[in-house]
Amino acid sequence: MAQASVPSTPLLKDELDIVIPTIRNLDFLEMWRPFFQPYHLIIVQDGDPTKVIKVPEGFDYELYNRNDINRILGPKASCISFKDSACRCFGYMVSKKKYIYTIDDDCFVAKDPSGKDINALEQHIKNLLSPSTPFFFNTLYDPYRDGADFVRGYPFSLREGVPTAVSHGLWLNIPDYDAPTQLVKPLERNTRFVDAVLTIPKGTLFPMCGMNLGFNRELIGPAMYFGLMGDGQPIGRYDDMWAGWCMKVICDHLGWGVKTGLPYIWHSKASNPFVNLKKEYKGIYWQEELIPFFQSATLPKDCTSVQKCYIELSKQVRAKLGKVDEYFIKLADAMVTWIEAWDELNPPSEASADVTNGPAK
């Protein structure tokens, strides 16, 4: 008999790709088989392209290594990071589906407080298919969930909500901490299961973690660039953060929502805090200037598509963050290259080139 948590016909079976960056055999997929097997996987192999990555039998997948990325993108491959999980965003670019779910290979199936396996993908899909409420906070959290609603005093004019662009999931066991926090709290584990989904309010930034993340590729895909990280770069472990800050500024401008909370996955292993400190060192003090930059960033009214917004943001990165470090000049160039490569692989149709509802007031 099928498990109760698995719908008989998987949601969005032909409209969603699962993107996995990896350097190792994907044995972890065995435990995800009941939830992932009906979907198409895009595996982005990092590191040595001659290494053979084994994928369990029965999965429908395509695998890209560095040689494939160079072949497909040519000189524009320079915008895709090497030896860093930021390479996952190549999978977003080559996908042809409306939705993306991305997960790391050290993320296992978590259990809810009753002991039942959590179908993380199904919850992300629910988050993405229901509206967000970024303009007014609902104290019962997500009003579209079963058993919840808009509370007294919530404006009726805002109850339709807006499209949800991103669903940001969380982790039990190993928390997503930076290196200094890891060093101070080496034994800390997250055991708190909070049964809530929240819309992150307009004007509020957040640290986006890429290891358990769903998004509407058709809506926000071109903004989900994970930057220049890893090999040959002065920084690592800020790939998802960078994407999250850019994405949130653009979603706020275009009037879309971002949710965080459920679903949980089980994050199985802590990365080395000393290695992490080396990667994060510059980012830890750069972010004190990056955050105010994104908090004050505004996009002009004529930025009516994600691509236009992203190119405009790249100009502001160059002008304002270029003074912080020359790395940001390089990153601004890579942001433009990313959009050019995206548009080459995904030629914008006239209908979808501009966002119909225009920027939020």
DSSP string of 10-23, one letter each residue:
-TTTTTEEEEEEES
Give the C-alpha separation, 163 to 160, whole Å. 10
Give the C-alpha separation, 336 to 310, whole Å. 8
Give the C-alpha separation, 73 to 226, whole Å. 16
- Are the CB atoms for 283 and 235 separated by under 8 Å? yes
Report the relative pairing of strands 164-173 and 257-267 from DSSP bridges: parallel
- Are the CB atoms for 35 and 119 separated by under 8 Å? yes
- Are the CB atoms for 42 and 125 separated by under 8 Å? no
The amino acid sitting at 78 is S
Name every residue whose Cβ is closer than 8 Å to that of residue 75 and which is 6 or more positions away in sequence: none
Structure-derived torsion over alpha carbons of residues 72, 78, 84, 85, reported in degrees to the nearest 10: -50
Q: What is the pLDDT along the chain (361 residues), one digit of tens a residue?
A: 444 455 568 899 999 999 999 999 999 999 999 999 999 999 999 999 999 999 999 999 999 999 999 999 999 999 999 999 999 999 999 999 999 999 999 999 999 999 999 999 999 999 999 999 999 999 999 999 999 999 999 999 999 999 999 999 999 999 999 999 999 999 999 999 999 999 999 999 999 999 999 999 999 999 999 999 999 999 999 999 999 999 999 999 999 999 999 999 999 999 999 999 999 999 999 999 999 999 999 999 999 999 999 999 999 999 999 999 999 999 999 999 999 999 999 997 754 555 544 444 4
What is each CA distance from 231 to 9, 83, 190, 271, 285, in whole angstroms? 42, 6, 31, 17, 20
Give the C-alpha separation, 260 to 169, whole Å. 6
Name every residue whose Cβ is closer than 8 Å to that of residue 161 and which is 6 or more positions away in sequence: 130, 131, 132, 133, 144, 257
Give the C-alpha separation, 83 to 47, whole Å. 5
Give the C-alpha separation, 220 to 270, whole Å. 30
pLDDT at site 348: 78
Give the C-alpha separation, 199 to 289, whole Å. 25
pLDDT at site 360: 44
| Residue 42, H or E segment | strand 40-45
Give the C-alpha separation, 310 to 307, whole Å. 5
The closest of 47, 53, 84 to 67, measured between CA atoms, is 47
Give the C-alpha separation, 43 to 29, whole Å. 12
The closest of 44, 40, 41 to 14, measured between CA atoms, is 40
pLDDT at site 10: 87
Give the 3-state secondary structure of residue 29. Answer: helix
pLDDT at site 354: 57
pLDDT at site 349: 73
Name every residue whose Cβ is closer than 8 Å to that of residue 152 and which is 6 or more positions away in sequence: none
